[in-house]
Amino acid sequence: MKKQIIAVSILVGAIYGCSQTPNSISLSAAQGQCVTGTNPGYESTATTYSAAFPMNANLPSTSPYCIALTLTNNNSGQNANNIQVNGYGFTMSYISAYSPSGNTTYTASMIDFNAAGVSSSSFSNTYQQISNIALFDPNNCVTTLGPNVRTLYTNGNSCTFYVQIVNESMPVGVYPLNFSVNYTNGNANYSVGTTINERSNLYVGGSFPQNVVLTNAQNTSPTINTFVSANSPESYSVKSMTRDAFGNVYTGDIFGNVYKYTGESISSWYQIPNGTGSLPGGASILAMTADTLGNVYLITALGQVYQLQYTSFSLEVNYMGTTSINSTYPTSMQVVSNQLYISNNNNVYNCSLTTISSTSCNPTVYITGPDTVINQLVSSVNTFNIAGATGVWAYNGGDWVPIPNSGATGLPGLPVNSIAYFNNVNFTGSPFWYAGISQIESNQPSVYIESGNAAFIPLLSPSGQNIVSGTVSNVIVDNAQGVFVGGTSLQSNDYPGQTAPVAYLISPTISTASSEWTPITGISGTINAMQTASQLTPY
């Protein structure tokens, strides 16, 4: 392997070997700390040796996606030696659920090619990004080849580097990432390691005692069957929720307060200020969404639209105008092709994102829906789609097209309360649509699935072939096609004798993982919003 060859002159010049030398090297983790905290915009554009990581252009100094790792030489005393990272350098081992043969363990080395100043062709089985995890090493802490190999001297000399989630691609659950640093003190080779958990969480907001809850918090086992408090300072019922491009989670409540989770700890929630030059407060935050640049958009019960904009790594509040909505009807919003679309009653409004100002939003109706009401608006590829009083439609730029558009829809003609679209980065087949309705009878399905322009059919569990029924208010899909349904009194023969506020099912379309309809308990009340979001933690 090429990367195991280290220039002898480097080692001799930097390391003085002794027998009976101490070996006290540590690898510690600081949650939520990003490379952009010390190197703004780091590798956001392509270089001679490295691909571009565009999200780093606006990535703030802290984010749930980030974690800082510090390698420290704690050796001291007469026989203490300096160290250098060598051999396989920095390695990551993880279990993939996407392998056709089932859960498979992968191990590979990682290096920041640009910082090292060495081409990737000089290495074997070595990458800057593995799965959805990237390494950023501006200080050459774990470089093993070339002119920038780093020496850590005795008596506490340390070096900090960063690992980061670069896209949401994991299903809801907890995934251990085993990191190891291989090094030498001139006499022998050693390694030091740590385990970081990638937590893909399900957040739920609504009218219940905790106001905001999530799965997987503080748990090391990959169970998602119980909600725990998200440690939010939120004091009122949550109406809306979103996740920005950096993994930060936002919640909006019935009195106009907005909180943001930034990931430094389990309780790192911060309120976006209310008042002059900030959010108005007072009026309920009916809906929220985000774009790919890290900006967040929201609308109040008074029709006021705001952008929370990242500028020079700070958050600015921009008023975009007021629309003529009726707050007694469902309201939702999505960004599509540099336009912000807002649905309310049976109307869709639009706001231009080309230039943000107090006139960005048109107060008049952009287009009227094809049904009597729009219960939800969601985006798909270059368009928006709606859940209506009797079905699901896509807007093609000039007209509404039913989904599917090849005959009978397969839906029972009841109001479609929520829809979800699945077509993630690991999937190359036909996209899927999911529709949630409310059913009183336990033998009537509440969740339907559609693909390939065929009719909607009831979503059945993989083995038991059972439905879920009840009152559905929210349907979302994670990155492995796990379907999460929120509402009240959800029941299924897969969990007889129980009702639950949330139930989920995993269908093995793109991975070998699967589950029957499974209840998630831990809350009692009304669910208003659901959102998946990932983070890296040392616990």
pTM of full prediction above 0.85: yes
Reply yes or no: is the peptide bond before residue 404 cis, omega within 30 of 0: yes
Antiparallel, parallel or unpaired: β 104-110 and 126-127: parallel
For residues 213 and 136, state if they share a domain: no
For residues 428 and 449, state if they share a domain: yes
For residues 397 and 457, state if they share a domain: yes
Classify 52 in phi/psi space as left (phi over 0), alpha (psi -120 to 50) or beta: beta
For residues 305 and 386, state if they share a domain: no
Antiparallel, parallel or unpaired: β 482-491 and 173-184: unpaired
Whether 465 and 443 have beta carbons less than 8 Å apart is answered as: no
C-alpha span between 437 and 311 (Å, rounded):
41
Establish if 266 belongs to a structural domain. yes
Establish if 447 belongs to a structural domain. yes
Establish if 376 belongs to a structural domain. yes
| Mean pLDDT, the chain, whole residue set | 90
- Quick: pLDDT tens for 444-489: 999 999 998 999 999 999 888 999 999 999 999 988 788 999 999 9
Helices (H), 280-321: none
Which position has the token pair 């995890």?
Answer: 133
Number of domains in the chain: 3
pLDDT of the residue at 169: 82
C-alpha span between 294 and 288 (Å, rounded):
13
Establish if 263 belongs to a structural domain. yes
The range of the structural domain enclosing residue 262 comes to 208-341
For residues 435 and 495, state if they share a domain: yes
Beta bridge partners of 339: 336, 352
Q: Which two tokens stand for residue 281?
A: 């407060």
C-alpha span between 434 and 447 (Å, rounded):
7
With 60 as the cut, is the pLDDT of residue 268 above it?
Answer: yes
Which of 145, 172, 197 terminates a domain? The answer is 197
Q: Which two tokens stand for residue 518?
A: 């499974």
Q: How far is CA 302 from CA 81, 169, 326, in A?
A: 67, 36, 8
For residues 378 and 316, state if they share a domain: no
For residues 47 and 183, state if they share a domain: yes
Establish if 358 belongs to a structural domain. no
For residues 59 and 152, state if they share a domain: yes
CA angle 424-520-537, nearest 5°?
A: 60
Establish if 11 belongs to a structural domain. no
For residues 469 and 321, state if they share a domain: no
Establish if 225 belongs to a structural domain. yes
For 8, list phi and psi in degrees, rounded to 5.
Answer: -60, -35
Q: Name the DSSP letter for residue 413.
A: S
For residues 224 and 265, state if they share a domain: yes
Compute the residue count for the chain.
539
- Quick: pLDDT tens for 303-332: 999 999 976 667 889 999 999 999 999 999
- Quick: pLDDT tens for 98-155: 555 556 788 999 999 999 999 988 888 999 999 899 999 999 999 999 899 999 999 9
Whether 326 and 343 have beta carbons less than 8 Å apart is answered as: no
For residues 165 and 286, state if they share a domain: no
Which of 167, 197, 227 terminates a domain? The answer is 197
The alpha carbon of 220 is separated from its chain's Cα centroid by a whole number of angstroms, namely 18
For residues 106 and 165, state if they share a domain: yes
Establish if 160 belongs to a structural domain. yes
C-alpha span between 446 and 491 (Å, rounded):
10
The alpha carbon of 278 is separated from its chain's Cα centroid by a whole number of angstroms, namely 26
C-alpha span between 435 and 489 (Å, rounded):
18
